[in-house]
Every structure is written in structure tokens, then in C-alpha cells.
Amino acid sequence: MTGMEIAALIGAVAFAAFVAFLVPTLLQLRATTQELAQVLARVNADVPPLMAELRTMAQNVNALTERAKGGVEHATSLLHAVGEVGDTVHQVNSLMRGSSGSLLSNLMSMVAGVKAASAVVKERFHSQGGCCNGG
């Protein structure tokens, strides 16, 4: 055998080995491509209904958000009114505390005055010794 024949023989063996490894790889690639085509067909069938459900869900969420916004605004105004009522109650309470102290003080002063006046009247009545008016 000549050098050229040996090189051709080595090339043929290398090509046969390459084909022997390439055929299973190509067969696996073909099976993978078929599975991928099936998956894409299933995805194409499933995605439109999912998108419709997502649109409906987004619309529902937007409606709920609007309702919640209205509820929060209503609650805010209600809480503001409750706060104003609380302020009014606090002012009335403060007024009552302040005026009750002075009212109590005035009442005690009046009671003390009445006691003093009655004591003076009793003392004069006993000192004059009379039981009748004008004496």
C-alpha cells in the first residue's frame, strides 16, 4: 500500500467513525425537535385562554382598587369627623374641668359665706335674747 492509499483508508475510517457518532446525535436532535414542536403547539393552544383570564383578572383588580380607593376616602372623611368629635369632647372636658374648679370654688365660697352669715345671725339672736322678731 502506498502512502496515498493509507491516507485514504485513514480518512475513510475517520469519516465512518464521524458518521457513526453523528447519526445518533441527529436522531436525538430529530426527537427533540418533534417534542419541541408538540410543546409549542400546546403552548399556542393554552396561551390565548390564559391571556383572556389575565385580562379579566386585571380588570377585576382595577375595579377592586377603585372600590378600595372610595372606601379609603370614605373612611378618611369618617375618621376626620371622629377626630373633630374627639377634639370637641376634649374641649368640653377641659371647659368642664376648668369651670368646675371655679364653680366648686364659688360654691364653697358661697357656702362659707352662708355659714358665716348664719353664725352672725345666731350670735346676734342669742345676744339679744329675744325669741320674737323686733323684740
Domain boundaries, the chain: 1-90
Query: Residue for cell digits 480518512?
Result: 11
Beta strands in the chain (DSSP E): none
Q: What is the pLDDT of residue 42?
A: 93
Chain segment 86-132, per-residue pLDDT in tens: 888 787 777 667 665 676 777 778 888 888 888 888 877 777 665 55
Dihedral angle sign, alpha carbons of residues 80, 85, 88, 89:
negative
Q: What is the pLDDT of residue 71?
A: 85
C-alpha dist (Å) from residue 95 to 22, 81, 90, 101 = 99, 21, 8, 10
Chain segment 39-97, per-residue pLDDT in tens: 999 999 999 999 999 999 999 999 999 999 888 888 888 788 778 888 887 877 776 67
C-alpha cell at 13: 475510517
Q: What is the CA radius of gyration of the chain?
A: 54
79-105: b or e for each residue (b if 16 or more CB lie within 10 Å)?
A: eeeeeeeeeeeeeeeeeeeeeeeeeee
What is the value of pTM for the model shown? 0.41
Chain segment 24-39, per-residue pLDDT in tens: 999 999 999 999 999 9
Q: What is the pLDDT of residue 51?
A: 93
Q: What is the pLDDT of residue 9?
A: 92
